[in-house]
Structure 1
Amino acid sequence: MILTLFCIELSGCSASSNATAPRITEPEHEVGDMVLVSSGEFRMGSQPFIFDADESPLHTVTLSAYYINVFEVTNAEYATFLSDTSGGTYHYWFEMDITQTADGFVAKPGLENYPVRFANHDNATAYAAYLNGRLPTEAEWEKAARGPGNERHFPWGSQIYAGQANWDNPEGLWEVGTATGKSYYGCSDMAGNVWEWTADWYDASYYRYTNNTNPQGPISGEFKSVRGGGYLNNSELQMRCSERQAVDPGGRYVDLGFRCVVDSAVYVNNRLGN
């Protein structure tokens, strides 16, 4: 399914285990708060004929362990990245809640802890690489949201109540972590607030032929997969863990952000800018 987000178009982090301890290299830059998603199986997707066809078949996926951001990347974190990289093509002047000063880039006052928006897929990928990480695959994102089983339609359970997610809210974004609904692993805002980029190209039929061990998505495509739903969506179906949407990777959107995963077993438990 191709998602129509509110956008402005421009032309355009898993840890493996070993018998011997790995050589540790501290990351050059700090990573925001992260949580370990342990290795093992989970059930991905949904039963045929119940929800969207691109979510079926329900299938078992095995993933290596990885760390994922508890929160969506914030304006303050992204501003630090811009300052360290001199902005370049990673800043979109007219829409981001970030400004440039003589000393670098800063989040607009009062918006420091809101999720960054208007970063296209390349921008999000560059930010993750700056932290020695990457964007999550669809499988990694869904396991972090759902947990090791498939019982949870939403990150916190089978029902959605007021305050658990920021959705159907034309008044706008919430600060990250405001929603009371947490995922199995303790991640915030995996439903609502902003949609989130993943690393995968989108293919509506991918689940029919996917590799079930550490799947990386299709080799190529026209659209990238996004997950999680946003504050402008008025259907609770778009808040579900298995919901998939296709988005132009070059687009910059008012309701689309991201979070990162890292492969290293070492991570810094402090968010950028703090």
Structure 2
Amino acid sequence: MTDTKSACCSPARSDQSAIEPVPTSQAKEEQTPLRVLIPGGRGLIGTDFPELPVDGEAPLRQKRIASFQMDTITVTNARFRTFVDATGYVTDAERLGDCFVFENLLPKDAPASRAVAAVPWWRVIDGASWHEPLGPGSAASCLPDHPVVNVSWNDAQAFAKWANGRLPTEAEWEHASRGGLGDVPFPWGDQVPNDTDFFPCNIWQGRFPDADFGLDGHRGTAPAQSFEANGYGLYNMVGNVWEYTSQPFVVKSLKKSVKQAHLGKTGFKLSKGGSFLCHASYCYRYRISARTGTSADSATSHQGFRLVYDT
């Protein structure tokens, strides 16, 4: 892939917000998914064959990783609802009054909305949030088993604190995503998804951003537990929704072109895994080594998270 296809598919807010305090609650977490033990050992990070060098995918390197537990699925709408009901938490999108929604998800009779100049397929939708993902009247309660979206990194951190977990590091996320297979580009191995007969994850099929044929069975998000799990029993480690990590988005490079590409991203947070909007022709980031960043208070309709737990 060339750098002409390296633009990120995510917009970001220009300001930064602190994590809102979470009220103390004695309510126990419900809708808790299965956790699996991820064995420690020699973890691999990155790749020696980067598709998007500008993102800092290379080189392949090793890191010792202690064993940890990880949710087999991303946090769902139902699980996030339990958190909100227990704490009264208000997300960044609710507090700020809007978030970014992918244009083709909106109904044809949707009110006029503001486009994002750099990525016009994203719309700023007033009133959109995690529980009304397409704006007022679009309740997420009808998709309880789908990943919660329109949540910021700040929101994910607040949820993790309440759930006695944390967001994974990039090394932990990649180690878990590889499922014991070692130096592979995808959680299932080496075979590349296509638009004809191999659909191992929820990504875009067709010409982005005009038409998603939905050949993998989904336009938009899929249930958090769908497709085949990887070798560690983890679902949708690539595709479906981006997953926040605990780390800042940093690209170490002396090249002026790379520095220019990431100008203004100070304080951005690192996400992994790609989403249902990814396609090889535009955002080839549904690979283990792929990475992107966004501001801590940004919320979009293709961004979610899952938790890890120290053993």
Same-fold status (TM-score > 0.5):
yes
Inter-CA distance 72–48: structure 2 relative to 1 (3 Å threshold): same
| Equivalent residues of 1:199, 1:225 under 8 A apart | yes
Equivalent position SS for 2:80: helix
Which of 123, 129, 150 is the matching residue for 1:96? 129
Compute the displacement of 1:6 (Å): 5.2
Alignment correspondent of 2:79: 77
Q: Distance in 2 between matches of 1:149 and 1:51?
A: 22
* Of 226-235 and 163-172, the range deviating more from structure 2: 163-172
Is 1:150 matched up with 2:195?
A: no
Q: Distance in 2 between matches of 1:63 and 1:2?
A: 31
Compute the displacement of 1:183 (Å): 2.2
Alignment correspondent of 2:260: none
Equivalent position SS for 1:252: coil
| Equivalent residues of 1:97, 1:111 under 8 A apart | no
TM-score normalised to the size of structure 1?
Answer: 0.75
Aligned residues: 229
Q: Distance in 2 between matches of 1:112 and 1:120?
A: 19
| Equivalent residues of 1:82, 1:90 under 8 A apart | no
Equivalent position SS for 1:36: strand
Compute the displacement of 1:133 (Å): 0.7
Compute the displacement of 1:90 (Å): 6.0
Compute the displacement of 1:83 (Å): 0.3
* Of 127-136 and 41-50, the range deviating more from structure 2: 41-50
Inter-CA distance 167–146: structure 2 relative to 1 (3 Å threshold): same
Unaligned runs of 5+ in 2: 1-5, 18-26, 98-126, 133-138, 206-211, 213-218, 254-264
Q: Distance in 2 between matches of 1:126 and 1:246?
A: 19
Instruction: Give 1:173's aligned amino acid.
Output: T
Alignment correspondent of 1:237: 284
The Cα offsets for residues 166-195 of structure 1, whole Å up to 9 and x where unpaired, read as 001542111112223x22211111110001
Say which structure, 1 or 2, has more relative contact order (CA 8 Å, 6+ apart). 1
* Of 129-138 and 89-98, the range deviating more from structure 2: 89-98
TM-score normalised to the size of structure 2?
Answer: 0.66
The Cα offsets for residues 203-224 of structure 1, whole Å up to 9 and x where unpaired, read as 1129xxxxxxxxxxxxx95211
**Superposition RMSD on alpha carbons, in Å?**
2.7
Equivalent position SS for 1:116: coil
| Equivalent residues of 1:3, 1:247 under 8 A apart | no
The Cα offsets for residues 13-42 of structure 1, whole Å up to 9 and x where unpaired, read as xxxxxxxxxxxxxx9535421111011112
